[in-house]
Amino acid sequence: MLREVLRSVFKKPATNLYPAQKLEMAKDYRGKLIFHPEKCIGCKLCMKDCPTGAITINKIGEKKFEAVIDLGKCIYCGQCVDSCLKKALEVTKDVELAQLDIKKLKVVFGGESEDSSGKLAP
């Protein structure tokens, strides 16, 4: 047993030093969704194809739409991204999505601000 202990002292650890070192995700990793409201045409194919109903597209003006994404329901399958004809949805490599408050899991993209950073729903 002593031999095994001494051998493990000089081995490289099998675990990552997260959060001290950032995780490096694979090329096709599907993390948090982002929405580009300027590309959306309001066809709602993403809503129809979402297996969990995690995404809602709302019309907020003439040819302007917002996306409400419930990260608590999303299973990060990427089906909405694949079905979007205008590429208004995109997956990121963002993995730090844990929240203590369930209200923070509902993210609104578009809306009053024209950025795609996503703001929390009121």
Read off the pLDDT of each residue in 83-90 and give the average, rounded to a whole number.
Answer: 95
Mean predicted lDDT score pLDDT of the chain: 87
Q: What are the boundaries of each domain within the chain?
A: 29-120
Comparing 110 with 46, the larger pLDDT belongs to: 46
CATH number, domain 29-120: 3.30.70.3270
**Residue 24: what pLDDT?**
85
pLDDT digits (tens, 9 = 90+) for 23-76: 888 888 999 999 999 999 999 999 999 999 999 999 998 989 999 999 999 999
**Residue 41: what pLDDT?**
94
The set of residues, in sequence order, having a beta carbon less than 8 Å from that of 73 and lying 6+ positions away, is: 52, 53, 54
Distance between CA atoms of residues 87 and 118, nearest Å: 17
Residue 111's pLDDT band, with cuts at 50, 70 and 90, is low
**Residue 14: what pLDDT?**
79
pLDDT at 12 over 50: yes
Asked if 81 contacts 91 with a C-beta cutoff of 8 angstroms, the reply is yes
Residue 82's pLDDT band, with cuts at 50, 70 and 90, is very high
